[in-house]
Each structure stands twice: as C-alpha cells, then as structure tokens.
Amino acid sequence: MLTIVLIDDDPISTFVTEKLILKNVKEPCKFYKYQSAKTALNEINEIKPNYLFLDLNMPEMNGWDFLDQFHPDNDDAQIYILSSSVDQRDITKASQYQVVKDYLSKPLIKKSIKLIFN
C-alpha cells in the first residue's frame, strides 16, 4: 500500500489531488491530509510516507519552512512541491532542496501522476 501525505491549506485542492491519484494509480493508497504544515511536521516521521505533496503558500508555516525543518528518518519519501505559483524564483529555489523530486503546478494533471507513480 502506498502512503501519501498531502499538505495544503486548500481543502478543494487536496480533494482534487486525492481523487486524481485514486483514479490513476492502480496500487491501493492511504492518504494523510494536513491543512497545517506545522501539524504535518510533528507527525510525519510516524507516517513514513512514500509520497509527499507540499503546497508552498500556507499560513503559520509555509512549504519552505516545512522543508527547512523536515529531516526524515528515512529517504523513502518522494517530495513534490504542488503550488499555484509559477514564479521562476520558486521553481529555482525548489531545485536547491535535494529532497524535492519536482515542482508541479496546480492543479495536478494526469500526465504528472503517470510520471510520478510509474
């Protein structure tokens, strides 16, 4: 079973991402959804996700803060930034984090799902 963490303060975006993954991934998936990066950070090492989708612009703790403080117990988690920002500075900054596999624009599309999960 794939363990997937979605960290996004927009419940509609989280809903759409989850449904798209469920529709296009053949393996069973268990989702953990967080509207707060701070809460996710406190629980993430117990979850040990295979995949983590992270929004950048959130109140209290943004995606950059999360990445700066996230030190996984293992390197199994594939982290994808999923953001509505198309600012080249954000894309460049994301590439400087070794743990970030890719920077994806919202909404997630079927083609991206197939690339990530195959």
What would the pLDDT profile of 42-54 be if each residue is shown by its tens digit?
999 899 999 999 9
pLDDT value for 64: 97
Instruction: Identify the band that residue 74 occupies on the pLDDT scale cut at 50, 70 and 90.
Output: low
Instruction: Say yes or no to pLDDT of 75 above 90.
Output: no
Contact 30, 1 (CB under 8 A): yes
Q: What is the pLDDT of residues 4-40, one digit of tens each?
A: 999 999 999 999 999 999 999 999 999 999 999 999 9
Contact 49, 3 (CB under 8 A): yes
Residue 6's CB: how many other CB atoms inside 10 A?
Answer: 23
Query: To the nearest whole number, what is the mean pLDDT of the chain?
Result: 93
- C-alpha span between 31 and 64 (Å, rounded): 22
d(CA 42, CA 78): 18
Domains of the chain: 2-117 (3.40.50.2300)
Q: What is the DSSP letter of 75?
A: S
**Secondary structure of residue 5 in the 3-state scheme:** strand
pLDDT, average across residues 88-116: 93
